[in-house]
A = this chain, B = another copy of it.
């Protein structure tokens, strides 16, 4: 019997989008998810509640015809609202171009929309169905139904693991490390995160500026907030585990109160319930996973977080996973379903780019918690904005990563870092107000050629 199904493990954001696109191409797809159907059960995936959707993600959604529908459920965030300790809050736009902004979107809402679309296309989705392991050469997955305990195996034409940072499919690659020469690294930050919330104002909706990503930078730690459609904000503390004021020491309501009064006094008024949430909600960890190869024998592939989990500080985790789907689709268009060729070209072209966004995301943690309220940095952002307003061919590093999906992450990183060096050097010498912007622009264009 011919195994003509493509088995996709994981019906999260990446796996479901991939399933939709492959079905649109007329391929037979089956989708497996270990969790219950999130449209019918309130579940915490243990991950952030809302996400920043930007151009790379939107381009992939456009590919499946869902961009407009998704944008209707988004809140545009046009820049960072920075809340220095003891100072006035100020707004720092993401771009000098009004059309360039990022979008706060609910993870659950977006995932549900994708699941609806997948079902509308007739894709069978098996919930409560955990993949235990994969026979790589046979493209055969062993499954367990989490409700009944029943175990069985299924073969596919190929198997694609989009089963997240804790991927079972990747674990099967790992189990064959010496044969595959499977390189792998996982690295955790010494910081963790905890989610809190600002509730909607009873009459007026959002209690603070709606169209911004809010940051309370405090050097070694920070709090951020993203708006939700219902008027609430999802608030996230990024905070060290250890040390005098680390998570482990904030272990009584009194210590927590003292800490918030010292560092986040204005947030106490916005979140009167912060202590209950703090002690109720789990503390998460933040890790980066890189690996290579992403495929075995042309039969099994991983993508999305399963292949490249990153820290959230560039808001690119979901965007990178969606971009995986678009790049994969481009290769299918070019090669047809010659899987070994598609898989090999995919991993070779894609891994250097996801390695790059992993590194950029780590850099951005320092920028967000320590630099956004720094004088030189503010100058540089002002200069970048003016340049973007005047010169259509200039994009800041942030804009290259976030608003230029035509540019692979690795190119965005290289050019962006060169630009940053130049601009920081210039800003250390004079204020943007005194600069000849034409001359600065000419220097920047030279970097593009280099």
List, in ascending order, chain B residues with CB within 8 A of A188's CB. Answer: 177-178, 181-183
User: Judging by beta carbons under 8 Å apart, are B181 and A184 in contact?
Assistant: no
Q: Is A241 an interface residue (CB 8 A)?
A: yes
A255: Cβ under 8 A from any B Cβ: no
Task: Please encode chain A, from 169 to 189, with 1 for each CB lying within 8 Å of some chain B CB and 0 for all others.
Answer: 000000001110111111111
Does A190 sit at the interface, judged by CB under 8 A?
A: yes
The reply to whether the CB of A352 lies closer than 8 angstroms to some CB of chain B is no
Q: Which of B186, B284, B285 contacts A184 (CB 8 A)?
A: B186
A284 surroundings in chain B (CB, below 8 A): 178
A287 at the interface (CB under 8 A from B): yes
CA distance A188 to B183 in the complex (A): 6
Q: Report the nearest B residue to A178, measured CB to CB.
A: B285
Number of copies: 2
Nearest CB of chain B from residue A242's CB, rounded to whole Å: 10
CA distance A98 to B374 in the complex (A): 62
For residue A291, which residue of chain B has the nearest CB?
B186
Cα distance A73–B190 in the bound complex, in angstroms = 48
What is the 8 Å Cβ interface bit string for chain A, positions 378-393, against chain B (1 contact, 0 not)?
0000000000000000
Give the complex CA separation of A287 and B180 in angstroms: 12
In the complex, which residues 120-178 of chain A have their Cβ closer than 8 Å to any Cβ of chain B?
177-178
Residues in chain B near residue A181, CB distance under 8 A = 188-190, 241, 285
Whether A177 lies near B183 (C-beta < 8 A) is: no
By the criterion of a CB under 8 Å from any partner CB, how many residues of chain A are at the interface? 17
Kindly state the separation between the CA atoms of A52 and B189 in the bound complex, as whole angstroms: 38
Assess the B178–A183 pair: CB atoms within 8 A.
no
The residue in chain B whose Cβ has the minimal distance to the Cβ of A290 is B185
A177 to chain B, nearest CB (A): 6
Query: With the chains together, A389 CA to B178 CA distance in Å?
Result: 43
A182 vs B285: C-alpha distance when bound (angstroms): 11
Chain B residues in 8 Å Cβ range of A287: 177-178
Q: Measured between alpha carbons, how far is A178 from B190 in the docked complex, in Å?
A: 11
Assembled-state Cα–Cα distance A287/B179 (Å) = 11
Interchain nearest-CB distance for A170 vs B (Å)? 12
B contact residues around A241 at 8 Å (CB): 181
Contact A186-B186, Cβ < 8 Å, known A178-B284, A178-B285, A287-B178: no
Give Cα A241–Cα B188 distance, bound, in whole angstroms: 32
Most chain B beta-carbon neighbours within 10 Å: one of A179, A183, A284: A183
Q: When chains A and B are docked, how far (Å) is the Cα of A385 from the Cα of B88?
A: 68
Q: Complex: how many Å from CA A177 to CA B166?
A: 10
Distance in angstroms between the alpha carbons of A245 and B400 in the assembled complex: 42
Which of A307-327 touch B at CB < 8 Å? none
Cα distance, A185 to B287, chains bound together (Å): 13
B187 touches A186 (CB 8 A): no
User: Residues of B contacting A182 with CB < 8 Å?
Assistant: 186, 188
Give Cα distance in the complex from A185 to B179, angstroms.
Answer: 17
State the CA gap A144–B284 with chains docked (Å): 34
User: In the bound complex, what is the Cα–Cα distance between A386 and B350 (angstroms)?
Assistant: 52
What are the interface flags for A183-217 relative to B under an 8 Å C-beta threshold, 1 for contact and 0 otherwise? 11111111000000000000000000000000000
Query: Can you give 23 contacting A-B residue pairs, CB < 8 Å?
Result: A177-B186, A177-B188, A177-B287, A178-B188, A178-B284, A178-B285, A178-B287, A179-B285, A181-B188, A181-B189, A181-B241, A181-B285, A182-B186, A182-B188, A183-B186, A183-B187, A183-B188, A184-B184, A184-B185, A184-B186, A185-B185, A185-B186, A185-B187
- 19 further contact pairs, Cβ within 8 A, besides A179-B285, A181-B285, A185-B185: A177-B186, A177-B188, A177-B287, A178-B188, A178-B284, A178-B287, A181-B188, A181-B189, A181-B190, A181-B241, A182-B188, A183-B186, A183-B187, A183-B188, A184-B184, A184-B185, A184-B186, A185-B186, A185-B187
Q: Which 3 A-B pairs have the closest CB atoms?
A: A185-B185, A181-B188, A178-B285
